[in-house]
Structure 1
Amino acid sequence: MGDRILIVGTFDTKADELGYLAEVIRKQGGTALTMDVSVLGDPPFPTDWSKHQVIEAGGSTIAEAISWRDENLAMQAMARGAARLASRLHRDDVFDGVLVLGGSMGTDLALDACSVLPLGVPKLVVSTVSFSPMLPPERLAPDIQMILWAGGLYGLNAICKASLSQAAGAILGAVRAVEPPNRQRPLIGMTSFGKTVLRYMVTLKPELEARGFEVAVFHATGMGGRAFESLAAEGVFACVMDFAPQEVGNHLFGSAITAGPDRMTNAGRRGTPQMVSIGCYDLVDVVGWQPAPERFRDAPVHAHNRLLSSYVQTAEQRQMMAQEMSAKLRSAVGKTALFLPNQGGNEWDRPDGPLADPQGLAVFCDALRQACPENVDLVELDCHINDDAFTRAVLETFDAWLAEGVISRN
């Protein structure tokens, strides 16, 4: 059971708040370790890692940072150092979880420091900009946690103590309770949506588990895809089944529900075997409580709930989607198969479904056939993605790749 918490912040200006966090952790029986990421000032008490050690870990010095006369550049240098030092300290088993406190500057640094730590290492950020649209999804660690630093921009008070004490208790509880990922079985990463719209995982998950693999299904609504891509970039997966590429279209057409520009690229760059399909390719998710984007103002729409609405792409937009998917897959260096179920990609687009568009589906299939790169095996299926024929075809390919050694059990 771990209890060592690395507390990161600018101890020159926020010593009271950071000291309070350390005090709460120690009173709860935890160990508080401190890392100073100040630039101009000095803390009123020593920290376990000084600002000089931090910035030097990133290849710069405090004197250099001050000479630049640019707080943005200086904090970026400090962020590089904090990330490298935190990564090294974790490899050396110095701490069990990290707690970072800051405003926009400190949060910018926190995202770098948290992103270098593996999944399963508790990461909590106390920030004045928690949950803000300023925070790009691609910079968020897949298991990062945040709490709003309410009323705490300058000095301690009863309001901010409520947030700070919660954060201290939360990170301490997390490091004591966390069950780090078990790597005994090879892991398959799969993207999907709920069973009302996509159903293949219901059949595939037990079948793949029976073959000795563990299956993690990621909800492809922006942050789920971001977590999927982050782990794919680390080479965590033995194989990926990226069957719900809707986030590619979300990003292409400017939705705020995005997994970032590198969606559908990281497994390919790592050489991880990947199977790809078209689940919900024809829909663009937007924030449901915001006005409809102009380009989708007259499009058919499915209001999934008060948070999320899905707009149907036009034929021209489907052609763009096919080209974008193909362009991303073209850079893959590992074995790649693209499954094209030509009768549809979600439960709502069946012939009798509320979002059916047979002509648009035909346009998309033709565009995908033409744009599919030579490094990708196009597997066309005369079925719908939710039919048993789709999962049978996937399992046949999986078994063949397993027999050929394309997919490893190690």
Structure 2
Amino acid sequence: MKTIAIMACCDTKYHEVRYVREKISAIGCVPLVLDISTGGDVPIKADIPREQIVTTGGYTWEAIRSAPKDEALSKMSQCAARVLTELREKGSIDAVLGMGGLQNTVVCTAAMQTLPLGFPKLMVSTIASGNRYFNDVVGDSDIAAMPSIVDFAGMNAVAEVILSNACAAVVGMANYGGGLIREVAGWRVGTTLMGITNDTVMHAANLILEAGMELISFHSTGVGGRTMEKMIAQGSINAVMDLTLHEMTPEYFGGLGYGGGANNRLCAGAQKGIPMVVCPGGIDFICLRPGELFEDEEKRGYNWHNAALTHTKLYEHEILSITETIAKRLNVSTGKVTVLLPMGGLRTMSRPGEFFNKPETIQKMKGILETTLKPDIVLKCFDLNFMDKEFGEIAAKEMLALLQTGN
């Protein structure tokens, strides 16, 4: 019989907690209520009361109760994360269900994000809809988010059906889900792509798969690269064909743009010393929303990727500065690293006469890489465009060569 952790503020969401607890029991699982409230009296008994949660996290209830609200929520998030982790490691829970408004969501999802990928997590939230970023709810985790439709202020016809569906969903994940990500057996290659590099990276990826290697691809628009770096650091990925470094562009501008949020790209692979094939694909532009456009947007030049996003050109000195950062981060590596540079363009629309064609800049990138990369990093330049099919074949060949020689 599976055990479902229920996380909620029992001082204000006790009607919903009671309903969900009864529903999960009726379905045939064991509910385990964790009270994450930081407010007033609690009219319902939790299986793990808030006092026990904060004690596990190294605080006293008095310290939480008397703290400013933002500080109390932060500490409760830390404590709840520790409790969830301990319960999961002991095999005491099989899934976790959170529910509530902003405060509940902040605490619940911060704790859920510390659980491994694959462990069932579901958040029913008032903020899982509307004009909000998913990063506020799921971060780089695999939390399933369900809009609550109504606010949590007592049970009603809408709340009943939403929470019933949530209970059925989380029980279904616990009983029939795939479980945690399996351990690495042999080489597991991470790769990065986005629309402007997709065809070439997919061609290279298919060749890696055909060679019998496992491969995981990530969308290089913020969360993707961040997640890949995290999985490399955790040992879940032990080789990387990192062909789309676009996320380093918004990092250069302080997190600005659609691809922001993946700082310190390349660092995990270098620090772990894993085999790396790297190409600075897509570092020649930044993806901006209408409200983020530069004051000199017209001078820079841009085109509309869709109705909500521009592809804005970078100045040459900006591209070269990012190139220097790439070299410096790779120089930390103790493993085998090969850097590939397509001299004919770094993305789609970069062939002669096209909008992002910058051959002189790429020549200067070559000079920086030649002088900055340490001697044991291999630099290979090709008179090809990134989008040439042959370049994808080269990338796959170079990756397989590193894997065959080991690291």
Q: Same fold (TM over 0.5)?
A: yes
Amino acid at match of 1:179: G
Q: State the match for 2:322 in structure 1.
A: 321
Aligned-pair identity in percent equals 25
| C-alpha RMSD of the superposition | 2.9
Query: For residues 176-235 of structure 1, what are the alpha-carbon distances to aligned partners after superposition, in whole Å with 9 as ceiling and x for unaligned?
Result: 3422334455421110124x6432333322332243321111111223223323322322
Alpha carbons 2:187, 2:403 under 8 Å: kept: no
Are 1:92 and 2:90 counterparts? yes
In structure 1, give the amino acid aligned to 2:167: A
Cα gap change, 1:375/1:394 in structure 2, threshold over 3 Å: closer, same or farther? same
Q: CA shift at 1:249, angstroms?
A: 0.5
Q: Which residue of 2 aligns with 1:383?
A: 384
How do residues 95-134 of structure 1 correspond to structure 2 at under 5 angstroms?
Answer: 95-130=93-128, 133=132
1:370-409 pair list within 5 angstroms = 370-372=371-373, 376-406=377-407
> How far off is 1:12 after superposition?
1.7
> Is 1:141 matched up with 2:140?
yes
Mapped contact 2:226–2:263 kept (Cα < 8 A): no
Query: Structure 1 residues 3 and 185, CA, compared in 2 at 3 Å: closer, same or farther?
Result: farther
Question: Partner residue of 1:269?
Answer: 271
TM-score normalised by the chain length of structure 2: 0.87
Match of 2:63 in 1: 64
Change (3 A) 1:41 1:271: farther
Deviations along 1:302-334, whole A, 9 cap, x unmatched? Answer: 433334332221212212221332343344444
Q: Distance in 1 between matches of 2:330 and 2:297?
A: 27
Larger deviation, residues 164-173 vs 339-348: 164-173
CA distance in 1, matches of 2:55, 2:331: 39
Q: Does 1:178 align with 2:180?
A: no
Q: Which amino acid aligns with 1:340?
A: L
C-alpha separation in 2, matches of 1:110 and 1:262: 27
Aligned to 1:279: 281
Runs (5+) with no aligned partner, structure 1: none
Change (3 A) 1:134 1:209: closer
C-alpha displacement of 1:399:
3.6
Q: Aligned partners of 2:264, 2:214: CA distance in 1, in Å?
A: 25
Question: Given that residues 197 and 348 in structure 2 are in contact (C-alpha distance below 8 angstroms), is that contact kept between their aligned partners in structure 1?
Answer: yes
Corresponding position of 1:233: 233
Aligned residues of 2:38 and 2:64 also touching (Cα < 8 A): yes
Which position in structure 2 is the counterpart of 1:44? 43
Contact 1:255 1:286 in 2 (8 A): yes
- Residue 203 in structure 1 maps to residue 203 in structure 2: yes
CA distance in 2, matches of 1:89, 1:295: 53
Q: Determine if the alignment matches structure 1 residue 351 to structure 2 residue 352.
A: yes
Alpha-carbon distance, 1:174 to partner? 2.9
CA distance in 2, matches of 1:154, 1:266: 45
Listed one character per residue, the Cα deviations across residues 278-322 of structure 1 (whole Å, up to 9, x for unaligned) are 2212121123x6463434344333433334332221212212221
CA contact (8 A) 1:231 1:237 kept: yes
How many equivalent pairs are there? 402
Q: Residues 151-175 of structure 1: CA distance to partner in whole angstroms, max 9, x if unpaired? A: 3153334444454344333323333
Task: Supply the AA of the counterpart residue of 1:347.
Answer: T
Contact 1:197 1:348 in 2 (8 A): no
Taking structure 1 as reference, are residues 345 and 83 closer, same or farther at Cα in structure 2, changes over 3 Å only? same
Q: Residue 395 of structure 2 aligns to a residue in which SS?
A: helix
**TM-score, scaled relative to structure 1:** 0.86
